[in-house]
Every structure is written in structure tokens, then in C-alpha cells.
Amino acid sequence: MRSFILLYLLGTSTLWGVQNTKSYECTKIFESRKNELLFELGRIDEERQSLDALKKATEDLLKKKESLVKGKDSKVDQKLSEIATREASVKKILEENKKVLEEIKQLKSDKVSQTFAKMKPSASALILSQMSIQEGSAILSTLNSKVVGQILAKMDPKKGSELTTALRNMPSSEAKK
């Protein structure tokens, strides 16, 4: 029995040694793997921090670009507003100039009409005969019908008929009397 106990103790101690060795080897493998994983985790954390910094820098740059574009947009809007204001001013001046030009033409036409109305019909007929049909009919349209009749009576019949036809075909806005 002693030998059996001895053998038993010897066997258990051998098994205990083998188990201790295996346990030690597993712990060693786990520690090694744990260190690898911790190293990998540290590397991933550094990359994440680097990525976060890059993302923040990109967002800051984007914000700067957006503010720059907004500043330029407001300048463009301001210029467009100035151009619209100037365009309206120029249009107003142009309309005023057109009115003044029409008034000058009217005064000139009135003065010519007064001149022809004061002239003798034979002298008026001679001058109007030398003008184009359009110019002559424009002048005759400003005179009263009695004066027009006297002038046409003193004119060459062909020229008088041409002027009469032109007066008849003239729009009513051009013929005053």
C-alpha cells in the first residue's frame, strides 16, 4: 500500500506539474494575445483621433469657404442692386429726354406751321412742291383746312393730288386739324 500511495502521490504530482505547465502556457498565450490586442486597440484609437482631427479641420475649412462665398454673394447682390438702381435712373432720364425731344419737335412743328400759315398761299405752294410727299404732308397736316385748301389750289395739280392722298392716308394722330 505504501507503494500504491507513493505511486499515487508521484502520479498526482506529475499530473499537477503537467497541468501547471499547461496552465502556464495558456496564460502565457493569453497574455501575449492580450498584449497584441491592446497594441492594436491603441493603434485604432490613434487612427480614430487622427480621423477626428482631419474631420474637424475639413469642417473648419468648409465653414471658412462658406463664409467667403456668402461674403462674395452679398457683394454680388449689392452690385446687382446698384445696377438695378442705376438702370431705373437711366430709364427715367431716357423717358424724360424723349418727352423733351417730343416737346422740341412739337415746338419746331408749330413754328413751321405758323410760318406757312402767315405766308401767301402761292409762296407756300412753291416751297411745298419742292419737298418730299412725307415732309409736305406733315406740314400740311398741322395747318387748318382753309389754309391747306388755298395752298393746294396754287400747286401743280399732280403734286397737290399726291399731297392730298398722303394727307388722307395719314394716321389721325398725326393730322391735328
Question: In 5-157, which ranges are E strands?
Answer: none
Question: Across residues 107-134, what is the average pLDDT?
Answer: 84
Give the DSSP H or E segment for 11: helix 2-118
Residue 15 pLDDT > 60, yes or no?
Answer: no
161: amino acid identity, one letter: S
The model's pTM is 0.42
pLDDT on residue 33: 87
Question: Across residues 36-55, what is the average pLDDT?
Answer: 91
Residue 148 pLDDT > 80, yes or no?
Answer: yes
* N-terminal to C-terminal alpha carbon distance within the chain: 159
Residue 96 pLDDT > 90, yes or no?
Answer: yes
**Alpha helices of 119-156 — where are they, by DSSP H?**
121-130, 133-140, 145-153
Q: Among residues of the chain, what percentage have pLDDT more than 90?
A: 25
